[in-house]
Amino acid sequence: MTNASATTEPRVTPAGVPVVEVRSVTAGYLPGVNILTDCSLTAHAGELIGIIGPNGAGKSTLLKSIFGQVKVRAGQVFLYGEDITNLKANKLVSQGVGFVPQSNNVFPTLTIRENLEMGIFQKPKGLAERLAFVTDIFPELAKRMSQRAGSLSGGERQMVAMSRALMMGPHVLLLDEPSAGLSPVRQDEAFLRVKEINKAGVTTIMVEQNARRCLQICDRGYVLDQGHDAYTGTGRELLNDPKVIGLYLGTLGQDE
């Protein structure tokens, strides 16, 4: 393993203060149309949080609300106890929040190295250290830095996208459907890499359609339904909860 650290500037906060707290958030894309209603979530330092639920439940909207891409109309979002509600994405990146969208998550005409350089444009002096960190987690990228991202497979693009988000040394990483569109083998690889990132010290919040696999690796999970957090518990608790099994796991995560 490299000596490069997971995060560039470790933060010291009072005991018990969450890294991310979403408190009773109502949000949506169009005026008068709410996708999330009174939705809450908490992620403590070092946790891997999984968010599952049926299509249209508001899972991706929740991540985008945290990352300032969807207007929060009521409620608040906190980072280390500081209100970051509706803060612009570039400000959030500088404060230690990374985001990997489900699609269109690489610059296809740029090389892998250029994509990674784009991820640290706010702190270019840290390039060498951050490259060492991400290529330790994704060693395949080290040998292909000059290859254009547009020529990569879906799984390889996902590696580049996660690596670029890690270049700023985020305290928390938001992942939107990291296994989407991947073959079963590539899905397993994606989940292993997510776990490696989390073990390196990055608090991780992951939206995932493969519900069973998500709950198997996460510390705690949230089940969203109709824009509200319907159930929460440890991954194991949700996997064995009769209501969650009957209502959600029967139709979710069948591609594992």
Mean pLDDT confidence for 13-32:
90
The Cα angle at residue 159 between residues 157 and 162, in degrees rounded to 5: 110
pLDDT value, residue 251: 56
**Residue 123: predicted pLDDT:** 87
Query: What is the C-alpha to C-alpha distance for residues 81 and 83, in angstroms, rounded to an integer?
Result: 7
Residues 6 or more apart whose CB falls under 8 angstroms from that of 82 comprise none
> Is residue 39 in a domain?
no
Tens digits of residue pLDDT in 70-113: 999 999 999 999 999 999 999 999 999 999 998 889 999 999 99
Instruction: Evaluate whether residue 154 is within a structural domain.
Output: yes
> Who contacts 239 (Cβ-Cβ below 8 Å, separation ≥6)?
212, 215, 216, 245, 249
- The total of structural domains in the chain comes to 1
Q: Is residue 16 part of a domain?
A: no
Mean of all residue pLDDT scores within the chain: 91
**Rounded Cα gap, residues 3 and 36, in angstroms:** 41
The pLDDT of residue 212 is 93
Residues 147, 256: Cα–Cα separation, whole Å: 30
Q: 117 in a domain, yes or no?
A: yes
pTM of the model: 0.91
CATH number of the domain bearing residue 99? 3.40.50.300
| Per-residue confidence (pLDDT) for residue 253, from 0 to 100 | 45
Q: 12 lies in a domain?
A: no
Q: Is pLDDT at 46 greater than 80 in this prediction?
A: yes
pLDDT > 70? residue 5: no
Q: Where are the alpha helices (DSSP H) in 8-111?
A: 59-66, 89-94
pLDDT-derived band at 11 (thresholds 50, 70, 90) equals low
Confidence grade of residue 247 (pLDDT, cut at 50, 70, 90): confident
pLDDT in tens, 193-232: 999 999 999 999 999 999 999 999 999 999 999 999 999 9
Tell me which residue range forms the domain holding 147.
46-68+87-249
